[in-house]
Chain A
Amino acid sequence: MSEMVTIERRAAVENLLQNRDDMLVVCGLGSSTYDVYAAGDHHANFYLWGAMGGAVMIGLGLAIAEPDRQVMVITGDGEALMGIGALATVAAQKPNNLSIVVLDNGHFGETGMQKSHTSHGVDLAEIAAGCGFVGCQTIYDYDVLDAFTNKPNDPTGPRLAVVKITTDNPPRALPNVDGIYVKTRLRQWLGHQPC
């Protein structure tokens, strides 16, 4: 609780995606989606504008379907909390190509900055550890974030990082809102034909 929070959300996401290669990225609705788009549009991004609580499970289905590729879910504390059971479901599956990153500013940023559970002491990294994630940590500074970004996945299971971020609110960066387009674009990029 006493750690100083200095990481800004856009810088964090830029760091996470700097060497992404062909990593597939699912991002939770709201600011996480804006952050991922602001870091550079990519056919391998699946932007959510709704389906709150679903980002981690979309990532799980994708990670199981594409076991030879890295999959990263980038979402916020509010979105992760709504789908918190998904941490248990992911831990039970143990996909070693899935990374979950929770950008945790302790607030519901899109709806008026109400405090979320993580501002009241709920620790998502501890919850993930209790679920059985092999690699889970809370990150407070850029050096540790950089190490997470550049470290290969743990061969024994999924990893989760809670990145504590400031409550800065950068201008929205809006990716295409057409879910059919974004879905088809990603599938085509992977070589799957549209129906």
Chain B
Amino acid sequence: MAVSTPHIWEDDIYNAFKKAGISQVPYVPDAGHAHLIRRVHDDPDMTPIVLTTEEEGIASSCGAWLGGKKSVLLMQSSGVGNCVNMLSLVTNCNFPFLTIVSMRGEYGEFNSWQVPMARATPTSFEMMGIEVMRCNSPEEVGPTVDAALYAAFASEQKIAILLSQRLIGRKEW
């Protein structure tokens, strides 16, 4: 099994989470988030929530906010389509929402099965009223996550940050 090499920008995401007081991190794992997920597991002030499917994390994040806590959902692009209906909970009730999506299926992708959902990822969010931000280079990640956390939890905005596959690196088969 391949073990992903930590990216420095994954620490930038973690540090932005700490600064914003994120306490719940639901996730469907992806290699692009592996180091961040490990850091969440190592942090006693954060509750990692492993999911069976991505839309569970939308609902749990809304529940966290009802209880006054902040949650960010981690997933990969292949799971975005699973979320569409559950995003109606976010938009209808005006919940704050942030998800960080590692992109597969776009930059030097070998597995063509990942491509259709990758291409539909921005549209899937936008059609449900979620703003899409994208990071292509390492230095963008920290400031983008910081800005999105502020917008989400200071004024109940709904945002998906896409981490480009070019940033993550292509998966070698």
Residues of the B chain whose Cβ atoms lie less than 8 Å from the Cβ of A48: 89
A85 to B47, CA, bound (A): 19
Decide if B53 touches A61 in the complex (CB within 8 Å): no
What would be 5 A-B contacts, judged by CB atoms less than 8 Å apart? A46-B66, A54-B58, A64-B24, A86-B59, A89-B50
Q: List the A side residues contacting B69 at CB < 8 Å.
A: 61, 64-65
Using known A-B contacts A26-B63, A183-B95, A195-B154, determine if residue A54 contacts B86 with beta carbons closer than 8 Å: yes
Number of interface residues of A (CB under 8 A): 38
Interface of chain B residues 48 through 70 with chain A (CB within 8 A): 49-53, 55-69
Within 8 A of B (CB), among A179-194: 179-180, 182-183, 186-187, 190-192
Nearest B residue to A55 via CB reads B59
Closest to B94 in A: A180
Q: Are B68 and A190 within 8 A (Cβ)?
A: yes
Is B144 an interface residue, CB under 8 A from the partner?
Answer: no
Query: Does A59 contact B63, Cβ atoms closer than 8 Å?
Result: yes
CB-CB contacts of A104-144 with B at 8 A, as 1s and 0s? 00000000000000000000000000000000000000000
Measured CB to CB, the nearest residue on chain B to A193 is B68
In the bound complex, CA of A194 to CA of B168 (Å): 37
**What's the Cα separation between A53 and B85 when bound, in Å?**
10
Q: What is the size, in residues, of chain B's interface with A at 8 Å between Cβ atoms? A: 38
The A interface, classified by DSSP as helix, strand, loop or mixed, is helix
Instruction: Name B residues whose Cβ lies closer than 8 Å to a Cβ of A.
Output: 23-24, 26, 47, 49-53, 55-69, 71, 85-86, 88-89, 92-96, 153-156
Listed in ascending order, the chain A residues whose CB lies under 8 Å from chain B are 24, 26, 46, 48, 50-66, 83, 85-86, 88-89, 92-93, 179-180, 182-183, 186-187, 190-192, 195
Q: Are A65 and B96 in contact (CB under 8 A)?
A: no
Contact A195/B50 with A58-B66, A190-B68 known, Cβ cut-off 8 Å: no
Which residue on chain B has the smallest CB distance to residue A26? B63
Could you tell me if A61 and B60 are in contact, using CB atoms closer than 8 angstroms? Answer: yes
Contact call A51/B24, Cβ cutoff below 8 A: no
> Contacts A65-B23, A182-B93: A187 and B66 contacting too (C-beta < 8 A)?
yes
Are A54 and B55 in contact, CB atoms less than 8 angstroms apart? Answer: yes
Docked CA distance A26–B24 (Å) = 19
Is there an interface contact between A65 and B67, defined as CB atoms closer than 8 Å?
yes
A53-B86, A61-B60 given; A195·B156 CB < 8 A: yes
Give the distance in Å from the alpha carbon of A76 to the alpha carbon of B153 in the complex. Answer: 32
CA distance A164 to B95 in the complex (A): 34
Task: Give the nearest-CB partner of A67 in chain B.
Answer: B67
Residue of B nearest to A180 (CB): B94
Chain B residues closer than 8 Å to A183, beta-carbon distance: 65-66, 93-95
> How many Å from the CB of A155 to the closest CB on chain B?
18
List the A residue with the shortest CB-CB distance to B91. A179
Who on chain A is nearest to B67 by CB?
Answer: A65
Say yes or no: A54-B68 contact (C-beta < 8 A), given A61-B24, A64-B47, A89-B51. Answer: no
Residue in B50, B85, B92 whose CB lies within 8 Å of A92? B50
Contact yes or no, B64 A64, CB < 8 A:
yes
Q: Output the least CB separation between B161 and chain A (Å).
A: 20
In the complex, the chain A residue whose C-beta lies closest to that of B58 is: A54
| Interface pair A62/B56, CB less than 8 Å apart | no
